Amino acid sequence: MLNAMHGMIAGLKAVVSEDLFEAVKVVRECCGATGISFMSGIPFIMEVVSPFMTLEGDGVVMGMQTARFLLKEAANIFKGKQPNQVVAYLSELKSLKAPGNFTVSDLKNPQLGLQLLKLSALLRLAKYA
- Residuewise pLDDT in 10s, the chain (129 residues): 778 888 888 888 888 888 999 999 999 999 988 888 888 899 999 999 888 878 777 888 888 888 888 888 888 887 888 888 877 777 776 666 666 777 777 778 888 877 778 777 777 766 665
> Does residue 108 share a domain with residue 84?
no
Together in a domain, 74 and 129: no
Question: Is residue 56 among the annotated active site residues?
Answer: yes
Decide: 91 and 8 in contact? Cβ < 8 Å.
Answer: no
Give me the domain span that covers residue 122: 96-129
Rounded-to-integer distance, Cα 50 and Cα 92, Å: 39
Q: Is residue 27 domain-shared with residue 9, that is, in the same domain?
A: yes
H helices of 1-129, in order, are 2-30, 33-36, 42-49, 59-78, 110-128
- Mark whether 73 and 108 lie in a shared domain: no
Report pLDDT for 101. Answer: 76
75 with 100, same domain: the answer is: no
pTM attached to this predicted model: 0.63
Ordered DSSP codes for 72-87: HHHHHHHTTPPPPGGG
| Dihedral angle sign, alpha carbons of residues 45, 47, 48, 54 | positive
44 shares its domain with 68: yes
Residue 90 CA to residue 121 CA, distance in Å, equals 9
Catalytic residue among 22, 29, 56, 92: 56
Domain count, the chain: 2
Residue 31: the pLDDT is 92
Phi and psi of 56, rounded to 5°? 65, 10
Asked if residue 48 and residue 8 are part of one domain, the reply reads yes
Give the pLDDT score at 96.
65
Please give the pLDDT value at position 26.
Answer: 94
